[in-house]
Structure formats: structure tokens, C-alpha cells
Amino acid sequence: MGAFYVTLGVSQLIKLRVLRSGPITISQFPFFFVPYTLCYNVDLAYGNKIERLNREVHEILQNEKHWFNEPMQLPPYLEPAYKLLQEEVNEKLRGAGRPNERDWACFTQPKASDEVLDLSYPVTRILQEGRLGIEWDHAGFTPSTSTSVESEIRRRGELQRRATQLAALEQFESPRGGGGGGK
């Protein structure tokens, strides 16, 4: 199949350089698409593609650590509902002659902020503890000093005041504004 595409590529180059007839047209598109699709489907139907896919799926599910292989951590208040759901599902599985489903959730207390801080990067710990004199704005994810935050608040308040004054002035001077102070 590779030789086929190399031949098509070379013929396109010759067409572009020597014959100067332009790039591939829509009528020539099937020459590129059909052989690829045909070979893919032949490999799927008569080759061993299904077996390779099946082996890869089993390899991922059994040997690799993924979020879907680990129990999900749920809050403790959901434990009664989870137990009820598991019992219903396992009852149906036993009725069908299949083994019980393994637990897919655990109910431990979430980590305290000190535990999370112990697991974080040193830079995060330094910023959180405020050793550099920088306050971390968690909502906007931008570090800023306390003085710059205060000055920013003052600046925004001043801009808002000016915008209000300007809007009032435009309404007053506008002939349609009903202010009566126009020309």
C-alpha cells in the first residue's frame, strides 16, 4: 500500500511541475481514499486487527494504572446510597449466574489542607505560607502584592465614578436626553 501512495505522490508532483495542471481535483480524491479504506477493512475482517485491538485493551485494563482502574473517592454521606446500589446490582448479577461486581468507590475523609500542602510543590508552599510578601489571588490565579490589589481597587472605583459622571454629562448635553441644557 505504501508503494501505491508513493506512486500517487510522484504522479501528483509530475502533474504539478511538468504538466502544470494544478493540484489534486475532487474527482481524483477516491484514488487516495478508497485504497486506504479497503486495506483497513481487509485487515479488520481477514487479518488480525481485531485480535491486536483486543490484546491492547486487555493490556491497558489489566496492567496500566488509570483512573478507571482505581476506586473512586466519594464523600462519606454517599455511602448508604452506594451500598444499596451495589446490593441491587450484585443481586441481579447473581440471578444471571455472574460474579459480584467489585467495589468501585471508597469513602475516606478528604485530605486536610495541611496534608495537601505537604504533597504540593515547594513554590506552592512558599506562596501559600506568604513568605515572599506576596498574596496569592486564588480566584484569578495571579500573584499580586497587597498594595497593588488595594491600588487596583481604588483605580477601578475611580474609573467607575468617572464613567458615571461622563454618562450623566452626555445625557444632560444631548438634545434627546431631556436634560434641557442643550443649545
Taking alpha carbons only, the member of 108, 112, 116, 113 closest to residue 73 is: 108
Taking alpha carbons only, the member of 136, 168, 131, 165 closest to residue 149 is: 136
Listed in order, strand segments (DSSP E) in the chain are 72-73, 105-106, 135-137, 142-144
Q: Is residue 94 a contact partner of residue 87, using CB atoms and an 8 Å limit?
A: no
pLDDT of residue 74: 85
Pairwise pLDDT comparison (16 vs 134), residue with the higher score: 16
Which residues, 6 or more positions from 171, have their beta carbon under 8 angstroms from its beta carbon? 177, 178, 179
- CA quadruple 133, 138, 140, 146: dihedral sign: negative
Taking alpha carbons only, the member of 7, 37, 8, 35 closest to residue 23 is: 8
Which of the residue ranges 10-19, 45-54, 137-146 would you say has the lowest mean pLDDT? 137-146
Backbone angles phi, psi at 144, to 5 degrees: -155, 150
* Whole-number average pLDDT of the chain: 75
Q: Is residue 71 a contact partner of residue 103, using CB atoms and an 8 Å limit?
A: yes
Predicted confidence (pLDDT) at residue 180 exceeds the cutoff of 70: no
Report helix, strand or coil for 74: coil
Q: Which of 26-35, 41-50, 58-67 is most confident?
A: 41-50
Terminus-to-terminus CA distance in the chain, angstroms? Answer: 83
pLDDT of residue 86: 93
Predicted confidence (pLDDT) at residue 14 exceeds the cutoff of 90: no
pLDDT of residue 183: 47
Predicted confidence (pLDDT) at residue 59 exceeds the cutoff of 70: yes
Could you read off the pLDDT of 114-140 as tens digits, one per residue? 776 676 667 666 666 666 555 555 544
Pairwise pLDDT comparison (137 vs 105), residue with the higher score: 105
Could you read off the pLDDT of 73-100 as tens digits, one per residue? 888 888 999 999 999 999 999 999 999 9
pTM: 0.31
Backbone angles phi, psi at 88, to 5 degrees: -65, -45
Predicted confidence (pLDDT) at residue 174 exceeds the cutoff of 80: no
Pairwise pLDDT comparison (105 vs 177), residue with the higher score: 105
Distance CA 137, CA 148 (A): 12
